[in-house]
Amino acid sequence: MDRKRATELANSLVMADVTYEGRPIYIEKVNSGRETASIHFLNQPHYSQEVSLTQLVENQ
């Protein structure tokens, strides 16, 4: 996923269908300088991790 789209989704009020390693996630924030995002799995809202933007997939 590119940085612009990830930022749009992170700032959106609508929950997008985004996955990381095939599991649904929520993008908390985009770290543009490192091309990463802070995310959490939908079933683990208290466990945040930083992942590469290239590993995020938006499902249409």
In this predicted model, what pLDDT tens digit does every residue of 32-51 receive, in sequence order? Answer: 899 999 999 999 999 999 99
- Residue 9 belongs to domain spanning: 3-58
Separation of alpha carbons 3 and 8, rounded Å: 9
- Tell me the whole-structure pTM to 2 decimals: 0.92
Is the confidence at residue 60, as pLDDT, over 90? no
Q: Around Cβ 36, how many Cβ atoms within 10 Å?
A: 20
Our count of domains for the chain comes to 1
- List of residues 6+ apart from 21 with CB closer than 8 A: 55
